[in-house]
Chains A and B, each alone.
Chain A
Amino acid sequence: MRADHRAVLLRRRLFSPGFFSVKFQAPALARDVLPGQFVMLEVAGHLRPYLRRAYSVADAEPAAGEVELLVRTIGSGTAALEGLAEGSAASLLGPLGNGFSLAGLGPNARVAVVAGGIGAAPFPLLFRALRGAGISADLFLGGRNAAELDFRSRFDGIVSGETVLSTDDGSLGEKGFVTDTFARRAAQGPSYARLFACGPMPMFVALARVVERAGVPAEFSTEAAMGCGFGACLGCVIPGREKPFVISCVEGPILPPEKIAWERL
């Protein structure tokens, strides 16, 4: 169940400037969290940032009691986490949100995982679950340039299928957007039973059209600034198709693209 976990920062791993992962000792959270769920993290004693920040759980190892976050420093919240010393404590409220669904995927199914930059954050845990279920998964990982994809080493050895890299400037992998890379592959090759995606909103807007055309059922890990993470503040709403707004933190963050009113973003 949801709880506020007092967690100790065990290790930090720096991939490149501003890209890092942190591992926390948080046994109950490591046991309970599902792929795609998130935590609201508070670095204690700060008035700025005052609110917690939402982080997808990148990975969890129940046996070791460890929970990992994959982070890019973009503002005061992530900077506070980057500055947190090993051995320090932080509060992790969670697990929150709904998580990815593997329901209905047979052991012979093949799925696509599409990540834009640090949007790759929730996927190590998903790959772990997919492997456990015997489902083959290809990773499409895109970024602006090679330097911003140094963290791809985190995915070494955990992707059961193919890994396809792309960069906007062509400095690594295919040149262009990850959505286009995926669209080309999907048109030529494998038939994907499901697509899991996480990245910035412009990526989702493009990808929603791609999966609709390709007829691939999709689950997007949506991004919205969250005040609380558990449905109280109503700050993180996304324009909805079936109703005016979807509350990202409790009805998501994992949402099928057809529930989102993309034209109202």
Chain B
Amino acid sequence: MTGQSPTSRVQSRALETRLGPLQLRNPIATASGTFGYGLEFTDFVDLSKIGALCTKGLSLEPHAGNSPPRICETPAGMLNAIGLQNIGVQAFLRDKLPRLRELGATVVANVWGDTEEDYVAVVGALEEAGGLAAIELNISCPNVEKGGMLFGNSPTATASLVSRVRAATRRTIVVKLSPNAPDLVESARAARDSGADILSLVNTFVGMAIDPVTARPRLSFGTGGLSGPAIKPLALRMVFQVARALPGVPLMGIGGISDLSDVIEFLAAGASAVQIGTANFRDPAVSGRLVDELEAYCRDRDTTVSALVGRAQRAWNGGEAGAEG
């Protein structure tokens, strides 16, 4: 069984990927909110094998989250309104991060708050911690009353927040964008211009399900974030669009990625790495298996991940349709 100690097997260098200041051993990461604090998965995944894991969104204080029902299945996906339940940044530093470090995990700490000051405070609490590869700012959670998505829905608010955090940390900053923003490209541009090193996209789409008998929403919050294979074409289009509008900005693609074909598509659209989300619920071993499958794919085709990134952009430009080099 995998998972109890860092892998001894050396991964192919063909899988390495660079996102600005962040070098990953491979492009398979796991998405915040779908991978707990990583330790929930150690029976199923060798955490040192995947490119990175993004933690559950951390706030300054522990947060209880929304009342149940919090989740509801929908065709090819699910709605959630967990409401950012988490143990708080101090408990993460004390109880989770040391073990993650022992296991050789590459950790991206996902951070959220109600106000700019909250974000800065959480980032500040993480500043001296060893073993963190980057900070991911969640400006796109649709399931809280304050903060969250509000920072992602306006380029002005995005710019203001990212600038504040940029001034407060030397760490690599990932900004996780909302597909619910009125103009995703403008939000992406605002994040980049304000100091984001990497953009991750997309968070969940605001959706709803109604019980046909009672006519009440199936989630206590009323609405929830839609994820899973149902959103993949939408997310892929958004990654393609942002990669096209902002060439050179490192992107992590997220949205319904479940199998190797999905990974290859997001890389082709312009993402230098991907985050596996809802698929982790259905198959907790999926991230590790995708690393193996991607390695075999690159070996069989004598190619590298770097060569796979942006192929669809080049093909669309009329250059090297389908070429991997």
Q: Which residues from chain A sit less than 8 Å from chain B, CB to CB?
A: 1-4, 42, 47-52, 76, 91, 93, 224-225, 227-228, 230-239, 243-245, 250, 264
Q: B6 at the A/B interface (Cβ < 8 Å)?
A: no
Residue from B43, B70, B278, B280 in contact with A1 in the complex, judged by beta carbons closer than 8 Å: B43
A239 near B67 (CB under 8 angstroms)?
yes
Complex CA–CA separation, A235 to B80 (angstroms):
8
Residue from A2, A228, A239, A244 in contact with B281 in the complex, judged by beta carbons closer than 8 Å: A228
A52 near B282 (CB under 8 angstroms)?
yes
Stretch of B32-40, B96-104, B147-155, B173-181 on the interface side: B32-40
Chain A residues near B78: list those with CB within 8 A: 50-51, 227
Q: B260 at the A/B interface (Cβ < 8 Å)?
A: no
Complex CA–CA separation, A228 to B285 (angstroms):
12
| A175, chain B: closest CB distance, angstroms | 27
Complex CA–CA separation, A234 to B64 (angstroms):
11
Identify which of residues 63-91 in chain B touch chain A, using a CB-to-CB cut-off of 8 Å. 64-65, 67-73, 75-78, 80, 82, 85
Q: B44 at the A/B interface (Cβ < 8 Å)?
A: yes
B1 near A233 (CB under 8 angstroms)?
no
Chain B binding surface SS class: loop
Q: Mark interface residues in B166-188 (1 if CB within 8 Å of A CB, else 0).
A: 00000000000000000000000
B1 near A3 (CB under 8 angstroms)?
yes
Residue from B33, B44, B71, B77 in contact with A225 in the complex, judged by beta carbons closer than 8 Å: B71
Chain B residues near A47: list those with CB within 8 A: 75-76, 229
Chain B residues near A235: list those with CB within 8 A: 68, 70-71, 80, 82
**B-side interface size class:** 35 or more
Complex CA–CA separation, A230 to B34 (angstroms):
11
A234 near B283 (CB under 8 angstroms)?
no
B75 near A93 (CB under 8 angstroms)?
no
A228 near B284 (CB under 8 angstroms)?
yes
B72 near A228 (CB under 8 angstroms)?
no
Q: Mark interface residues in B27-59 (1 if CB within 8 Å of A CB, else 0).
A: 000000111100011011000000000001000
| A196, chain B: closest CB distance, angstroms | 24
* Contact A232-B283, Cβ < 8 Å, known A50-B73, A225-B72, A227-B80: no
Chain B residues near A232: list those with CB within 8 A: 34-36, 40-41, 280-281, 284
B64 near A230 (CB under 8 angstroms)?
no
B71 near A227 (CB under 8 angstroms)?
yes
Chain B residues near A51: list those with CB within 8 A: 73, 78, 281-282
| B68, chain A: closest CB distance, angstroms | 5
Complex CA–CA separation, A228 to B70 (angstroms):
13
| A116, chain B: closest CB distance, angstroms | 20
Residue from A3, A52, A237, A244 in contact with B70 in the complex, judged by beta carbons closer than 8 Å: A237
Residue from A3, A48, A237, A250 in contact with B75 in the complex, judged by beta carbons closer than 8 Å: A48
Chain A residues near B44: list those with CB within 8 A: 2-4
Complex CA–CA separation, A237 to B71 (angstroms):
10
Q: Most chain-B CB neighbours within 10 Å: which of A1, A48, A237, A264?
A: A237
Chain B residues near A244: list those with CB within 8 A: 64-65
